[in-house]
Amino acid sequence: MADHAFPKPSRNIVHRLLNLRNHFSVARLSDRVLLMGLGVVCVYWVFESILFWLTAEEGTFLGAFFNPGYNELLSRLLVLCFFMIFGSQVGHILRQRQALNEALAGSEEKHRTIIANIEDGYFEIDIYGKLTAFNDAFRNITGYAAEQLALQDYGRLLTPAETERVFGAFQNVRRTGRAIKDLGFVIVRHDGARRWVETSISPITSADGNLRGYRGILRDVTRRRQADALKQEKMAAEAASRSKSEFLANMSHEIRTPLNAIIGLVELLLASQLSQEQREDLKVVQSAAYALLSVINDILDFSKIEAGRLELERSPFNLRDFLGEALKILAVRAHEKRLELAYRVAPDVPDRLVGDHHRFRQVLLNLIGNAVKFTDAGEIVVFAQCESLADDRLVLHVAVRDTGAGIPTGKQVMIFEAFSQADGSTSRRYGGTGLGLAVSAQLVNLMGGRIWVKSTLGEGSVFHFTMAFDVDSSQPEDHHLPADIDLSRMQALVVDDNATNLKILCEMLSSWKITAKAATSAEEGRELIDQLRQQGETIDLALIDSDLDQEGALALIRHLHRQAGEGARITLMLTTTTAKTADRFQREGIANVVTKPVRPSDLLDAVIKALSEENMPMATWREIKSTDARTTLPPLDILVAEDTPFNQKYIRRLLDNWRCRTTVVANGRLAIEAWSHKRFDLILMDVQMPEMDGLSATARIRDLEREKGGGHIPIIAMTAHAMKGDRERCLDAGMDDYVPKPIASASLHKAIARLLPSMVGADPMRLPVADGGETALDDELAGLMAAFNNDGAFFKDVAGMFLSDYPPMLETLAQAIARQDGDLLRRTAHALKGMARNFQIEDAAATALQIEQMGGQGHIDAAAGLTQRLSDELARFEGRLKQMMARAPG
């Protein structure tokens, strides 16, 4: 390669012109050979003619020329043919050579073009290491001008440290004759900068096989090398962080195990007989252990998430109840600070969701816990609404609003980072690790959402987060009232001094079409009652906040009893702190108590209660209540066939109150199945049901009875059809009686009494309830006294302890469920079981045993429903126990 740099593509045209000229010249040469052949033939022809004329005895030159003899003509033609064949053969060979030359020139041109245009550098060096050819890319990589590179020593591009290695590679190629690839080294550019390159080296040999030099392709790989180095650094850092997180995760786990043992044992000790002082000390130990546990849990979660070891679970849950239960866990703390705690779920949010509700609760409790911690007065309200809902995928938007200290604008992002708090002094005042929000942010992220805060210093904060859940649309939503329940004639009074709570309660009632009248104080409530009375309107249900100022609630209840007519049923809304002093309300004839924050299901229970006492005069009701309302029916076995959850709940409650044993099934087919397997005293049969309606089911039961040769189970129809002829249709189908929906307790009672007069007595309201109740209570007391060695004082002591100890233990159960702490659940349930057995409360003891077993087996979620049942059972016993304490001797 004479020029060191390669010719530019524009030179091609000249080349092609030259080729064209060559082509023509070759063509002429082959023609010339032909012409020459012809010329030689002509000369030969003349020469032969002269020779013939000189040697022949007669004839002339012209005669021999134009008119040769046969032999002469033949020899001349042979010479002509020979020359023509020779000429054309020479022309063919010349044309082939020309084509070969052209192909060679074309391929060389192609190579030149490729090499000149590739992004990688191309170089050739001779055996002395001098650069003999290179392309533009090579110049760019090395940073030299073409004239500087020409015949430059290749070694000048190398660093001293690598020169030997690189030339060693050239020697290798020389020795073995084999090319090498991807030789990596650093070159020093003209400007002194260093670049990482990789090159191939292959030998250039001459036609005789001798080595003439080397050629190679040089690639600049500096960027890739830098990226690789960064990646390696990152991987090393990640590995270090992962092992740190794994260590933290393991360590927190190790700490948690003994801590759980401490908490469980303290729990057990607290359930035993202790002096007041010991009890106080143990409670301090207990709260310190819980505080430590929550820090450890945060660290564990944080490190688990960091180490990528946290796995999300999927299980179904009911949003509204879930929120209510989660809030109740923190209600104690909030109410101790006299903070109002409430929640509102927008009506369009589906209730049955599927997702990791433990992690959801963790985020929620952390935000509400912070809100309680940083708020000294006012309220904390949790709002839940749809961010988006499509194809059974819900993105839920939850906001936790407080009226607390607020967070300065500059700190509102940083608080979501690990170990950061809004400010040092606040942290000293309130304590905390600064991990809660970091964990929450990571969990929210993991669950397909985001978290953010809006806050004004001194006014309060709103923490928002979103989370994605699946919607379980296979189950019907039961927070809506079924269509056949008409509550539009009900009127409710809601008295609460917290405006937000008032609004939420009224909204819930209105969503069930109940007319809700709101009052923000006892005085306002009293005015409203008077006003309604003057207008001749009744109040069916009164929801009264027990925390109204200055004995306001008590005065209002008394006023309501005096003024609002017989129909009003009062549900008292207690805070966890006023629950301890609920006794003073007992005497006032309260129909129901619920604790705040009030769940929709609590409110529905209150409505059911108000309905179930419907038409019963207040005086009678109070009389029954003061003895024992549950003895108004003998313990009948009743089968209820009803498909809507609301009605199932309502009827079960009604029958439970009458001490009946209730079996509920959801359709006619199941009713037949249940009836054929068990003996019942009575069937309550809904008329409209899926799969098999009440009329067909009754007809089938009657057929089966006939086939069996006798028997007749009383069946009472329940129907919302107020149409004329309904009663007849029911009776025709084989039913014995009929009660319209919504079911009034008195009419159901009457229907049962009519059908089972021998069992119930003619007038249900005149049953010897008081006697029956008193006798039952006396029997129970006698049994207990025997167990307590007839030592009345001992009985009262232990009973007093039971009354003060069991509510916090129920709270511990709830906390254990919230924290997924099976061990704590098992131990606490075990202690409760023992206490229940002491007082021979067999149903509660059986429930506690089930919870204990679930704790042991780790089925913690399933224990939530049972905990509620246990709480109900113990609450029911509490009333009886107090009466027994009053009657016990000593």
Tell me which residues touch ligand ADP (CB under 6 A). Answer: 366, 370-371, 374, 402, 404-405, 407, 415, 421-422, 426-427, 432-438, 461
At its nearest, how many Å lie between ligand ADP and the CB of residue 453?
A: 8
The residue among 417, 338, 327, 413 whose CA lies nearest residue 375 is: 338
User: Does 690 sit behind a cis peptide bond, omega within 30 degrees of 0 on the bond before it?
Assistant: no
- What's the CA gap between 518 and 705, in Å, rounded? 55
Identify which of residues 87 and 436 has a Cβ nearer to ligand ADP in the complex.
Answer: 436
At its nearest, how many Å lie between ligand ADP and the CB of residue 458?
A: 11
CA dihedral (878, 880, 883, 884) positive or negative: negative
Phi, psi of 134 (to 5 degrees): -165, 160
At its nearest, how many Å lie between ligand ADP and the CB of residue 384?
A: 18
At its nearest, how many Å lie between ligand ADP and the CB of residue 771?
A: 57
- What's the CA gap between 595 and 579, in Å, rounded? 8
At its nearest, how many Å lie between ligand ADP and the CB of residue 429?
A: 10
Identify which of residues 63 and 434 has a Cβ nearer to ligand ADP in the complex.
Answer: 434
Identify which of residues 170 and 360 has a Cβ nearer to ligand ADP in the complex.
Answer: 360
Identify which of residues 103 and 413 has a Cβ nearer to ligand ADP in the complex.
Answer: 413
C-beta atoms surrounding 660 within 10 Å: 21
Q: Report in angstroms the alpha-carbon separations of 428 from 200, 257, 431.
A: 67, 28, 5
Identify which of residues 435 and 514 has a Cβ nearer to ligand ADP in the complex.
Answer: 435
At its nearest, how many Å lie between ligand ADP and the CB of residue 337?
A: 13
The residue among 617, 621, 608, 689 whose CA lies nearest residue 654 is: 608
Identify which of residues 371 and 870 has a Cβ nearer to ligand ADP in the complex.
Answer: 371
Q: Which two tokens stand for residue 761?
A: 């007595």
Checking 513-519 for CB contacts under 8 A at 24+ apart, the result is: 513/481, 513/486, 513/487, 513/488, 514/487, 514/488, 514/490, 514/541, 514/607, 515/488, 515/490, 515/491, 516/492, 517/491, 517/492, 517/493, 518/494, 519/493, 519/494, 519/495
Phi, psi of 605 (to 5 degrees): -60, -40
At its nearest, how many Å lie between ligand ADP and the CB of residue 434?
A: 4
Q: Is 580 left (phi over 0), alpha (psi -120 to 50) or beta?
A: alpha
Identify which of residues 374 and 738 has a Cβ nearer to ligand ADP in the complex.
Answer: 374
Identify which of residues 354 and 446 has a Cβ nearer to ligand ADP in the complex.
Answer: 446
The residue among 463, 469, 449 whose CA lies nearest residue 318 is: 469
The residue among 621, 618, 652 whose CA lies nearest residue 638 is: 652
Identify which of residues 293 and 753 has a Cβ nearer to ligand ADP in the complex.
Answer: 293
At its nearest, how many Å lie between ligand ADP and the CB of residue 462?
A: 9
End-to-end CA distance of the chain: 125
At its nearest, how many Å lie between ligand ADP and the CB of residue 378?
A: 12
At its nearest, how many Å lie between ligand ADP and the CB of residue 824?
A: 22
Identify which of residues 245 and 370 has a Cβ nearer to ligand ADP in the complex.
Answer: 370
At its nearest, how many Å lie between ligand ADP and the CB of residue 283?
A: 22
CA dihedral (748, 750, 753, 754) positive or negative: negative
Q: Which two tokens stand for residue 375?
A: 């708020």
Concatenate the DSSP letters of all residues of 679-737 into one string: --SEEEEESS-SSS-HHHHHHHHHHHHHHHT-----EEEEES---TTHHHHHHHTT--E
Identify which of residues 231 and 428 has a Cβ nearer to ligand ADP in the complex.
Answer: 428
C-beta atoms surrounding 131 within 10 Å: 22
Residue that is written with structure tokens 């089966």 in the block: 704
Taking CB positions, which residue lies at the least distance from ligand ADP? 432
Identify which of residues 437 and 485 has a Cβ nearer to ligand ADP in the complex.
Answer: 437
At its nearest, how many Å lie between ligand ADP and the CB of residue 286?
A: 20
